[in-house]
Amino acid sequence: IGAVLDITERKQAEDALRFSEQRFNQAFNASPNAQVISRQEDGLIQIINDAFAQLFDYTREEVRGKTSLELNLFAKPADRQEAIERLRKDKSVRDCEVDIRTKSGEIRRASLSAEMMSVGHEDYLLTVIQDITERKLAEDRLKATLTALQESEERFATMFHESPVALALVSASDYRALDVNRVFEQLYGYTREEVIGKTSLEVGLLTDPAKREEIVDRIGRGESLTELELRIRRKDGVERIVSITYRSIDIRGSRCFMSTSQDITERKLWEEQLRATNDALRVSEQEFRAFFELANAGKVEYDPHKKRFLRVNQKFCEICGYSKEELLQMSISDLTHPDDRQTDTIIYEAAFGENADSYEREKRYVRKDGAVVWVQVSGSIVYAESGYPLRTYAVVQDITERKRLEGELADYAHKLEESNQELQNFAFIASHDLQEPLRKIKRFGEMLYQKTTGKLDDSEREYLERMMSSVERMQAMIEGLLELSRISTHGKPFSDVNLKAITDEVVSDLEVMIRRTGGVVTVKDLPTIQADPLQMRQLIQNLIGNALKFHRPGVPPTVKVSSMNKSPVVVKITVEDNGIGFDENQIGRIFQPFQRLVTRSQYEGTGMGLATCKKIVERHGGEITAQSTPGQGSRFIVTLPRQIGR
């Protein structure tokens, strides 16, 4: 008896969630910027990426479970407070410049961005920290350079062109480029000569020309443009995203603008991936929640360390008899039958110790009303990167009725086994006790036959001969019955049996019968299996003997013995002949004791041969069947396991 549960929707939801988590983990770990995820509730750091560990020189173990305050990551407490206030107000922080302190005490300048996010029932804060120390140093150097330009144009030109940041000097009167540096050429793909004297519109730097007009208008109103994100098109046609800052400077009394360009394409792609991942996580969470609640089996989410249910569906409540509110204050142990709790502990500890992905268990719950129910629990375990088990998710199926039926079936099987044993004992005893009176009848009949030789007329002698023939048939039937009962009780231990060698020996033993019928027996390659050697000999001898015996009058029998398949688990042996055949509608009778499809006057026998074959095959855990057409022969197919227990 089995139970089939359709878990397609659950697996699809789990696969979607796993895929989203993988995408998030890949984006998180591959980011070139330092990233950290902390809990909003207490600010405890949960995970960091490699860039964070490299920037602050901390290991994951050193920061996990601590706050930024404990680690003294902010060099200026005011920076931290400002970021917290902006986060509370806007729910996110973008490009907030702060001073950070590494493990060694080194102070560096960084751009901090943070965003709130939810995963399951927990609220987290994702913080991205970009080390801008070098950029700020470059900007500081640029400022110093701009100041020095007033004293020395030569010094200005040198610093301008050697700056590690893409720079452009633009006239405030007509917005034409006065000069660009080497890094600008590399970023935009144009040479100085191709840019100087032209506007960005004439060169075609912006993918959206309307953006230029917007920039000119804002500059004209005196706005300060800092880290303006624009999409540009390089000379080779490749589009990039840059962050541009415009500053107004005076050169020889002429007002100009200095633009600083930074390629942020990779950062924007990562941010887009992160947003997509967050969206996918939200969708997956909604799908999972819907699947969780609508399932027709009990579903639970459990915290193995707090030992509390985090989420249960209505079906689980029905199984246990408790409300959701009551269950969320309980542990698995509270529901488990006292006799099953120790085994539960062993199974869960073994699963956690081996980092097993899943577990299965049949156990008993005690309902709120005191009733005991049997349940089947199929669970999966989610681990943290460190191997720490975070959650278990389980499907709980009420199998009380199944267990009741299994008990009844076991009782029935036990009674059936006892009945079969009694029947075998009875057959053996009855057959054995019948032998003695038959031997006396036969012996006295033989004595009577000898003493009345020449004294009885033909009809009287025929009666006596028919009596003797009946006694012999009865003895043969009793022997067949005894043989059938001994198959299960007197079988030999299984060992490796070469079926080809045994079949060749059987053919040799049947040589007289083969010559008498003019038959031909062909034996092809047969495998070696684990079996009872004597019973295999008896099985093959009965099948070949029947094939030879039941041949068509005037047609020499042809018998072929072969193996049909190459399965590593089972073998199929076929015994095929060209004999009289039979109607396949009678296949249910031919394997029963004492059943004959032809008269005794046509073919001798007791009708026990195929019944014995069936008993032998069943003892070996196999099957026997037949295919036949009257007048065209038969094919007997025996399927046996290659090894014991398979």
CATH number, position 573: 3.30.565.10
Side chain identity at residue 141, one-letter code: R
Whether the per-residue pLDDT at 23 is higher than 70: the answer is no
Question: Using an 8 Å Cβ cutoff, are 149 and 251 in contact?
Answer: yes
Structure-block tokens of residue 553: 């009058």
366 plus 323 within the same structural domain: yes
| Full DSSP string of 593-610 | TT--SS-TTTS---S-HH
* Average pLDDT estimate for 64-90: 89
Question: Using an 8 Å Cβ cutoff, are 115 and 37 in contact?
Answer: no
Binned at pLDDT 50, 70 and 90, residue 484 comes out as low
Whether the per-residue pLDDT at 485 is higher than 70: the answer is no
302 plus 359 within the same structural domain: yes
Nearest to 291 by CA among 309, 310, 313, 308: 313
Q: Which of 344, 373, 399 is the last residue of a domain?
A: 399
pTM of full prediction above 0.75: no
pLDDT of residue 339: 92
pLDDT of residue 367: 93
pLDDT of residue 16: 47
Among 155-164, 373-382, 454-463, the range of highest mean pLDDT = 373-382
* Average pLDDT estimate for 174-185: 88
Query: What share of the chain has pLDDT > 70, as a percent?
Result: 81
- Tell me which residue range forms the domain holding 232: 163-268
Query: What share of the chain has pLDDT > 90, as a percent?
Result: 17
C-beta atoms surrounding 611 within 10 Å: 22
pLDDT of residue 106: 92
Question: CB burial class (10 A; 0-12, 13-18, 19+) of residue 119?
Answer: middle
Binned at pLDDT 50, 70 and 90, residue 25 comes out as low
pLDDT of residue 66: 92
Query: For the chain, what's the residue count?
Result: 646
| CATH number, domain with residue 360 | 3.30.450.20
* Average pLDDT estimate for 205-212: 84
Residue 481 lies in a domain: no
* Average pLDDT estimate for 177-191: 89
Q: 105-109, 426-430, 466-470, 542-546: lowest mean pLDDT where?
A: 426-430
* Average pLDDT estimate for 579-586: 81
What are the tens digits of pLDDT across the range 131-144? 998 888 888 887 87
CA distances from 398 to 174, 200, 319, 330, 471 (A): 81, 72, 7, 19, 62
What are the tens digits of pLDDT across the range 555-568? 899 999 998 767 78
506 plus 570 within the same structural domain: yes
pLDDT of residue 147: 67
Among 189-198, 241-250, 346-355, 610-619, the range of highest mean pLDDT = 189-198
Q: Which of 377, 399, 421 is the last residue of a domain?
A: 399
Residue predicted with more confidence, 154 or 122: 122
pLDDT of residue 432: 59
257 plus 337 within the same structural domain: no
Residue 138 lies in a domain: no
Residue 12 lies in a domain: no
Q: 96-100, 402-406, 427-431: lowest mean pLDDT where?
A: 427-431
C-beta atoms surrounding 347 within 10 Å: 18
Nearest to 597 by CA among 641, 538, 645, 550: 550
Binned at pLDDT 50, 70 and 90, residue 368 comes out as very high
Residue predicted with more confidence, 583 or 439: 583
Pairwise CA distance, residues 150 & 146, whole Å: 7
Residue 15 lies in a domain: no
pLDDT of residue 285: 65
602 plus 521 within the same structural domain: yes
616 plus 504 within the same structural domain: yes
Among 29-33, 477-481, 557-561, the range of highest mean pLDDT = 557-561
Q: Write out the H or E segment, with its range, that includes residue 427.
A: helix 400-451
What are the tens digits of pLDDT across the range 349-361? 888 878 888 888 8
Question: Using an 8 Å Cβ cutoff, are 132 and 117 in contact?
Answer: no
Residue 139 lies in a domain: no
* Average pLDDT estimate for 45-53: 91
Question: Using an 8 Å Cβ cutoff, are 506 and 541 in contact?
Answer: yes
Rounded to 5 degrees, φ, ψ at 3 are -125, 135
289 plus 383 within the same structural domain: yes
Whether the per-residue pLDDT at 111 is higher than 70: the answer is yes
Side-by-side strand order, sheet with 308-312: 308-312, 298-303, 389-398, 372-383, 358-366
Residue 94 lies in a domain: yes
Pairwise CA distance, residues 616 & 350, whole Å: 43
H helix intervals, 125-243 = 133-149, 153-162, 182-188, 192-195, 200-203, 209-220
Binned at pLDDT 50, 70 and 90, residue 102 comes out as very high
Residue 422 lies in a domain: yes
Give 244's strand partners. 228, 261
pLDDT of residue 420: 61
87 plus 188 within the same structural domain: no
Q: Give counts: helices (H), strands (E), the chain.
A: 23, 22
Binned at pLDDT 50, 70 and 90, residue 58 comes out as very high
Sign of CA dihedral 94, 95, 97, 100: positive
Q: Which of 399, 415, 450 is the last residue of a domain?
A: 399
Cα angle 616, 620, 624; round to 5: 60
* Average pLDDT estimate for 591-613: 65
Rounded to 5 degrees, φ, ψ at 35 are -135, 145
Binned at pLDDT 50, 70 and 90, residue 424 comes out as low
Whether the per-residue pLDDT at 504 is higher than 80: the answer is yes
Task: Please state the domain count of the chain.
Answer: 5
522 plus 630 within the same structural domain: yes
Pairwise CA distance, residues 333 & 331, whole Å: 5
Residue predicted with more confidence, 272 or 188: 188
Residue 392 lies in a domain: yes
Q: 151-165, 241-255, 517-531, 537-551: lowest mean pLDDT where?
A: 151-165
522 plus 600 within the same structural domain: yes
629 plus 560 within the same structural domain: yes
* Average pLDDT estimate for 223-237: 85
Whether the per-residue pLDDT at 290 is higher than 70: the answer is no
Whether the per-residue pLDDT at 642 is higher than 60: the answer is yes
Q: How much is the mean pLDDT over the chain?
A: 81
Pairwise CA distance, residues 179 & 176, whole Å: 9
379 plus 409 within the same structural domain: no
pLDDT of residue 107: 93
